[in-house]
Amino acid sequence: ELEGRVAIVTGSTSGIGLGIAEALAARGAAVVLNGFGPAAEIGGLCRRLAEAHDVPVRHDPADMGKPEEIACLAERTARAFGPCDILVNNAGVQHVAPIEDFPPDRWNAILAINLSAAFHAMRAVLPRMKARRFGRIVNIASAHGLIASPFKSAYVAAKHGLVGLTKVVALEAAEHGVTCNAVCPGYVWTPLVAGQVAQQALAHGLTEEKVIREVFLAEQPSRRFATVEEVAGTVAFLCSPAAASVTGTALPVDGGWTAH
């Protein structure tokens, strides 16, 4: 149902972004992967996706912390595949520390990658989406875009900001056939979360199993991690014709966490 569409998924060499890229490719979209990693591995990902789903796939190395590179990402995509129809702002980083110990450079980097990058990317693709009267923008926020946890000041601020920004763009684009929604995952088992589990186990002298049960899944009523496929399926729905009137939402995929 997305045949002929061109999708950019930022931060898609790993985790949730890669799952989203795969879900969009499976529905027929041409996909631009973005993110870091060893060149050979990324080349392998592009070939695997292209062959499995018979769609064009390329990788763009833009650093989403750098506005000028984000503008280039949109331009290179337009030149290679045509103008972007689907933009998924997914690249994200995390740092966990009490605010008085929070390094200002980590604060700046998290705001740049998790919030400002979406602003720059939407700015770059919106004019052509509006002109062509079709666009789907999905911003991967977080349950932390709706509620807070301690020690995640930059992340919670950026994700709340991203939910607000999503609503503004939804209002501005609504008459032009362009939707803009946020998806708010709870804990999903990805390298980002595996890193936090290892860090907390070390910090608290607990086993990783105990950290998973008592720190992470204690928040999530389903008592399991959400899956990459569940988040990707939600994004695919928001990009589908059935979701044409769904805009300005912040949709939790969190096993009930934010229902507390």
Cα dihedral sign for 184, 188, 192, 196? positive
Q: According to the binding rule CB under 6 A, does residue 252 interact with ligand NAD? A: no
Q: How far is the CB of 130 from ligand NAD (least distance, A)?
A: 25
Q: According to the binding rule CB under 6 A, does residue 142 interact with ligand NAD? A: yes
Give the whole-angstrom CA distance, residue 119 versus residue 140: 13
Beta bridge partners of 87: 8, 137
Exposure of 27 by Cβ count < 10 A (0-12 exposed, 13-18 middle, 19+ buried)?
A: middle
Q: Is 187 a catalytic residue?
A: no
Piece in contact with ligand NAD (CB under 6 A), picked from 1-9, 29-37, 77-85, 172-180: 29-37
Contacts of 120 (CB under 8 A, 6+ apart): 67, 70, 71
Q: According to the binding rule CB under 6 A, does residue 93 interact with ligand NAD? A: yes
35-58 core/surface letters (b: 16 or more CB in 10 A; e: else): beeeeeebeebbeebbeebebbbe
Q: How far is the CB of 194 from ligand NAD (least distance, A)?
A: 9
Beta bridge partners of 181: 138
Q: According to the binding rule CB under 6 A, does residue 92 interact with ligand NAD? A: yes
Q: According to the binding rule CB under 6 A, does residue 73 interact with ligand NAD? A: no
Piece in contact with ligand NAD (CB under 6 A), picked from 38-46, 167-175, 184-192, 204-212: 184-192
Quick one: 174 or 193, whose CB is closer to ligand NAD? 193
- Give the Cβ contact number of residue 100 at 10 Å: 5
Task: For residue 256, give Cα distances in angstroms to 22, 185, 197, 223, 260.
Answer: 26, 10, 21, 10, 7
Beta bridge partners of 180: 137
DSSP single-letter state for residue 190: S
Quick one: 11 or 161, whose CB is closer to ligand NAD? 11
Interface residue with ligand NAD among 121, 173, 188, 197 (CB under 6 A) is 188
Q: Are 116 and 67 in contact (CB under 8 A)?
A: yes
Q: According to the binding rule CB under 6 A, does residue 146 interact with ligand NAD? A: no
Piece in contact with ligand NAD (CB under 6 A), picked from 38-46, 52-60, 89-97, 168-176: 89-97
Q: How far is the CB of 131 from ligand NAD (least distance, A)?
A: 27
Quick one: 247 or 258, whose CB is closer to ligand NAD? 258
Q: How far is the CB of 66 from ligand NAD (least distance, A)?
A: 8
Residues annotated as catalytic (active site), given as ranges: 155
Which residues in this chain contact ligand NAD in the complex, by CB under 6 A?
Answer: 10-17, 34-37, 63-65, 90-93, 113-114, 140, 142, 185, 187-188, 190-193
